[in-house]
Amino acid sequence: MFNNYRWRYMVSLFLMVSACSAYAQDQKPEKPIKKGIHKQIRFDASQARMSQVDQLFKAHLNTREQDELRVKKAMVDKLGFEHTRYQQFYKGVKVEFGSYIVHSKDGIISSMNGDFKEVKEVEISPSLSGDIALDRALKHVGATEYLWQESQNARVIDYEKPKGELVILNNRLAYKFDVYATKPLYRADVYIDAHNGEFIFENKKIHHANTPATGTSLYNGTVSFTADSYSGGYRLRQTADGGGIQTYDLNNGTNYSNASDVTSSSTNFTGNATGVQAHYGAEQTYKYFLQTHNRDSYNGNGAVIRSYVSYSTNYVNAFWDGSRMTYGDGDGTNYGPLVSLDICGHEVTHGVTEYTSNLVYSYESGAMNESLSDIFGESIERFASGTNDWIMGDDIGAGGSGGAIRSLSNPNAFSDPDTYKGSYWYSGSGDNGGVHTNSGVMNHWFYILSVGKSGTNDNGDAYSVTGIGIEKAQQIAYRMNATYFTSNSDYDDARQYGIQAAIDLYGEDSPEHIATHNAWYAVGLGDEYGGGTPPTCATGTVTLTLVLDNYPEETSWTLTNSSGTTVASGGTYGSEPDGSTITETFNLAAGDYTFTINDTYGDGICCSYGNGSYTLTDNGTGTVLASGGNFGSSDQETICVDGGGGSDTEAPTAPGSLAASSITNSSATLTWSASSDNVGVTGYDIYLGGSLVNSTTNTSYNLTGLAASTSYTASVRAKDAAGNVSDASTVSFTTDEDSTPVEYCSSQGNNVSYEWIDLVSVGSINNATGANGGYGDFTNLSTNLTRGNSYPVNFSAGFGSGSYTEYWRIWVDFNQDGDFDDSGEQVVAGSSSSSGTLSGTVAVPSSAALGSTRMRVSMRYNAAPSSCGSFTYGEVEDYTVNITSSFAGVATFGGNSNAEPLGNEVAKPYFVAYPNPAKEMVEITIAEDARGYDLKMMTLNGVVVKEIESTDANVRISMANLPQGVYILSMKTAREVVNTKIIKE
C-alpha cells in the first residue's frame, strides 16, 4: 500500500483511506490485536527434537488439554533448516493470529518463536446465527454495493457471499467475514462477537497507494518480456513464469469482467505503454522472487499474477486486494499511471507477506508490512534496471511535478520517522495506526544496512554502520519475514528476528551480523553491538522491586543463570491488586544472570495503563543494577554477581524413590520423594530423553503426549534459589501398545464408465484389476518399505474408449495419525492422458513411524483429487505398507524400467473461440474427440440465440446481428457440459 499520510492527503483526497473511514470507522478505531506469548526460545545442540514438540509446547507455552497447535505448513530453506508453522486452536476453534514456528534441522530443534494466545474460558457455541452476525458486519461496513451482488465480477476471483468462520479473537468467540464492497471500494476480514453481535476488529485486505508512484515504459525505455500469440495476434499473457502472468486493460472502467486483453498485431507492443509497463513490472517481480529467494510467485506455489491497468478515471492510486493488482492512470496533471517498477514490486510483495507472515495491517505490524513492500519494491527496481534511487514513486510525476511519496534514505524529508518513536512517529489511530508513516523506521534500517551510514539518531545515540550491500540486506529482510515473523510481530520482534536471520545466513559475529545489529541501533532499537558500559556487578544479595500496572494478570518474569536454568520466577499476578508492589530477594552465586519480564498484551507495564516499573538493586552497595517498565512484549536485562551473597553454593539432594506409574499408551505419572537443601528447594526440573519438559514445585508430574510402545528415560533434578541444581534421579519405562485402530476418511469416484485404475505396483504389491466401482479396498495387500529409502511405484489407467487427462495422487500416512495432511505424505503428484504404465517414487522419511500404515492411490478426471471426499469421474484404491527400520523381505526395489515418468499434462480443451472479444465473427476450433457434439450460444439468462452443429474442425459463427454484451458458448458432451464466455463488442 502506498500512502503519505500528511501533505499528500490533499493531492489524493484520501482515496481509499478516506472512503473507508467514512463508512467503516465511525466509531473510535480499535486497539491493536492483543499479543500472546511471543518470544524466541533457543535450544542447545541435540537438546530438543521434533518428536518432542508437544512436550516443548507444554513446557514453554503452558499449553492445556483444550489448547492445540496444528501444523499449517512446513518449508525447507536453502540452508537446510525446516520451518514448521503451527496454527493455534482452542477446543477445536481456530485462534485468529495465534501461531508458532518451530525451526529445526535433521529433526533437531534449534529454536521456536511465535505468538501463542493465552485463551481463558470461552464459550465456543455461538449465541447468534451467522446470518445475524453478517448483518452486523454489513452495518459496520455501511457500503451500498457488494461484489457478491455482481456475479460476473465475483467469479473472476472466485469470490462469493461470506458465510462466516467461527474463530477466537481477543478471548472472544467471533464470526470472521471476508467482506468485499464495490461502492465504496473496501475489502477486509470483519470480526463480529458471536454472542452479542458487537464489532471487534477489521483487518483490511486492500493495500493501496493513496498517493502515486511511477510506471510506464516511458521511464524504462524499450523492455523485453514474454507474451502469447492467439488468433493471428499477440496479447499480454504468458505461462513461462510460474502459473502465468496476465495483464488486462479496464479501459477506465471498474468492472473487472469487462476488462480486455492488451493486444498487438506483432510482437512489438506499441499501443498501450501502461499495460506494457505493468506486465513488465509483474514479470520482473516474479523473476526477482524466484531467482533471488527461490519463491514461485507470491503464494510460493506458482499463483497467476494478474494486473489490471487504467482503473476508473483520474484515479491516483494502486492497490493489492488479496487476489490481484489494480493500477490507476493518475490525474494526468500531477501524476501519471501508477505502474513503475518499484510500485509493481511493492504491490506484489503485499501478496508475499500475506502468504508468509501475514502481518496484521495495523499499528506496528502494519508499518512493517508496508516497509517490506517498500524494501522489496526498491530491490526489484534494482534487479530489473541495475540501479535504484531509494525513493518510492519518483518517476510518475506528470509535468515535472515529481511523484515521490517516501524515502528510504531520508524518511524525514517526507515527514516519516527515521528513529523508533522519534521525530514524526505517529501515535494516533488514523491510517490504521500510522502504517504508511511509521514504516519509515524499518525502511531506514534497510537503507543503512545496505549502504552504511554514520550519524546521531533522535535519541542522541551516535552510530556508525558499515553497509553490507543490498544483495545481502535483502536476503536478511526476506528471511526475517518468511521464516520468523508472525501476524502480530512488532518492531522489537523485527530487531530480534532480523539479527537472527543475519546469524542464520552469515554466522554469529560476522560483519553482516554486526551491521544488522548496529543498523537497528541506528534507528533507535536495542543497543550497539558489543557496546555499552561494563555492568556493575552485585556484591550482596539482589532485590527485585516490581510495581504492577492496572493489568497485573498480564505480567510475569524469570531469572535465569548463564546455563539457561531458571533460578527464580513469578507471575502472572491476576490475584494481586492493580498497582501493587511485589518484592523478591535473591541469594545468588557468582556469575551472570538474565532477568526477563513479559507482558502478554504487548504494551509493557508503563505507561498506557498505569505506572508500573521494575528495579533490580544490589543490597551490598545499594546500586541499581537494572530498571525499566516502558517496553513492548518483553524486556531483558543482564546482571552479574561477584561473590556477593554467594555463600549458598550447596546443591539440593537428588530426588528420592523416582518411579513411573499409571502408564498408558500416551502418558505416565512420575512420583518422587522431596529433596532437601541448606536454604530451601524451590522446584524440580523434569527431563525426558535429556530434554527439559517442564518444572514443578510438586513431587509428582504427569507426562502426556507420549508415543505408544516406546521406551523412555525420564529424570528429575531439584533446584534452589541460588541456581544450584541436584544430581539427577532417573527412571526408565515403556508405554503400552496403542489398541485404538486408526480410522481414515473415505474417498471414491462415483463413475468408472470412462476411466479406472487398472494397475498399482510397488515393492511386493503388483495389483492389476478392472473397475472397482470407484473404490477398491486392497488393504489386505502389503509390502515392506524401509526408512530413509526410495521405491519406484508403477500405476496405470484403464479407459472405456478414448483416453482422457487423468490427475494422479499417491499418499502414505508416514506418521500413522490417520490422515495424509502432513509434510512429505503426498509422494506422487502429476497428470497424464497415457494408457501405458506410469512411474513415480515413494520416498520414505527417516522419521517415519514403524509398523503398518495406509497408502492411498487416487486418479481423477481433469482435476487434482484430494485425499478425502468423493468426485464424479475416476477411482481410489487403498493399500497397506509396513515401515521397517531395516530391509525386511523386500526382494528388490523393482519397478518397470519401461514405464513412463508421470508428468504434468494439461487437459486439452474441447473447443477454443477466437477472436474474443469479437465484433463480426467468431471462429470455433473443435478438438477431434469433441466433434459431433452440438454447440449452443446463450445469453446470461439462458436464452438460446444460436445452435451450431460441430461436425467439422472449424466452425464460424456470425455475431453481426447480436447486441453487445456477454454470451455463453456451451457444449454438452457425453460426460459433462463445457462453457466459455464470448464478449460481443
Tell me the catalytic residues.
347, 436
Among 482, 473, 478, 430, smallest CA distance to 450 is for 473
Which H, E and C letters describe 552-606, residue by residue? Answer: HHHEEEEEEECCCCEEEEEECCCCCCCCCEEEEEECCCCEEEEEEEEECCCCCCE
CA separation for the pair 273, 216 (Å, rounded): 6
Cell reading at 258? 469487462
CA angle 314, 318, 324 (to 5 degrees): 125
- Listed in sequence order, the residues at least 6 apart from 68 whose beta carbon sits closer than 8 Å to its beta carbon are 88, 89, 90, 92
Of the candidates 445, 460, 453, the residue with the CA atom closest to the CA atom of residue 499: 445
CA distance 145 to 662: 62
The residues facing 913 across adjacent strands are 924
At residue 295, the 3 state secondary structure works out as coil
Closest of 685, 682, 686, 678 to residue 651, by C-alpha: 678
The 8-class DSSP code of residue 663 comes to: -
User: Which residue type does 112 have?
Assistant: M
Task: Give Dmax over CA atoms of the chain in angstroms.
Answer: 102
Report whether 761 contacts 894 (CB < 8 A): yes
d(CA 543, CA 528): 28
Compute CA distances 557 → 495, 496, 562, whole Å: 21, 19, 16
What is the secondary structure of 142-185 as a DSSP string?
Answer: --SEEGGGSHHHHHHTT------EEEEETTEEEEEEEEEEEETE
Element (H, E) at 805: none
- Residue 340 to residue 389: CA distance in whole angstroms: 13
Instruction: Count the neighbouring beta carbons within 10 Å of the beta carbon of residue 769.
Output: 15
* Helix axes of 130-141 and 15-24: crossing angle, nearest 10 degrees: 130
How many whole angstroms separate alpha carbon 327 and alpha carbon 308? Answer: 6
Name the residue with cell 467439422: 952
Could you report how far apart the first and last alpha carbons of the chain are, in Å?
34
Q: Are 644 and 541 in contact (CB under 8 A)?
A: yes
Phi and psi, residue 870, nearest 5°: -110, 165
Q: Cis bond leading into 909, ω under 30°?
A: no
